[in-house]
Amino acid sequence: MHAPIHDAGRRRWFKTSALLAATAATSGLMAFEPLLAAPPRMPIPSSPEADDSLYMIGPRDGYSPYIGSLVSMMNYNRSTIIKLTAGMTMEQLDHLHDPQSNTIGALLMHLAVVDKVYYMNCFEKNREFTDEEKKFWEPALDLDEKGRAEIKGKDLAYYVDLMTTTRAQTLEALKTKDDKWLLAVDYLFSKDQKFNNYWKWFHVCEHESHHRGQISWLKKRLPGMKDVKD
């Protein structure tokens, strides 16, 4: 006679427990709902303002947004090279650390010619050097034996002027292009891989960073150089 009452009580207990569990689960989810929600998205300006400050990477006056951002990176990289080599003497620029090294002067001229080569590729229909240009620039482009033999006897102003002149040409030419051009693939640049114009100038930028590391390494090992910080 007591079994039905026991079964009924057990069924009521299960129903009550289930209801309490569901309520607790719902309350828990509601408590955590703010944490589970997607974080608010920051609005992106439709027309970002240009800021020419050295440590602001972004658009620049006179350039399309992507090109301006690239230019800001190129400007910063170049500023580190100028700062790193400021005050160096001709003897220091011509110093050869070992037979396999390049001088700091040769590396600076190399930065100038790489800018020129990519300028000719992008803005002069990939033209080649004239015989006169080849004679002047080839030692800096190839470096190694030819560079070690021929690039010497020049002061810092000489190399800075070369770098400044070739970069000025690049910056002026980039003002005539837009982001569509920057992202466009140059199918003539390589038959094996796809390269766009953005990659070319990104490469100029990271190439300069690469050689900045070499210049820093060589500077620290110059005769009489102590406690160099860069």
How does DSSP assign 128-165, residue by residue? PPPHHHHHHHHHHHH-HHHHHHHS-S--HHHHHHHHHH
Q: Higher confidence at residue 224 or residue 6? A: 224
CATH architecture label of 65-220: Up-down Bundle (1.20)
DSSP state of 196: B
Q: Per-residue pLDDT averaged across 198-224, rounded?
A: 97
Mean pLDDT score of the chain, rounded to an integer?
A: 85
pTM of the model: 0.78
Q: Higher confidence at residue 116 or residue 47? A: 116
List, for residues 71-130, the tens digit of each pLDDT value: 999 999 999 999 999 999 999 999 999 999 999 999 999 999 999 999 999 999 999 999
Residue 226 gets the label, from left (phi > 0), alpha (psi -120 to 50) or beta, of beta
Residues whose CB falls within 8 Å of the CB of residue 148, separated by 6 or more in sequence, listed in order: 96, 102, 103, 106
Predicted pLDDT of residue 40: 54
Residue 53: strand, helix, or coil: coil
**CB distance 104 to 219 below 8 Å:** yes
Distance (Å, whole) CA 92 – CA 219: 8
Q: What are phi and psi of 38, to 5 degrees?
A: -65, 140
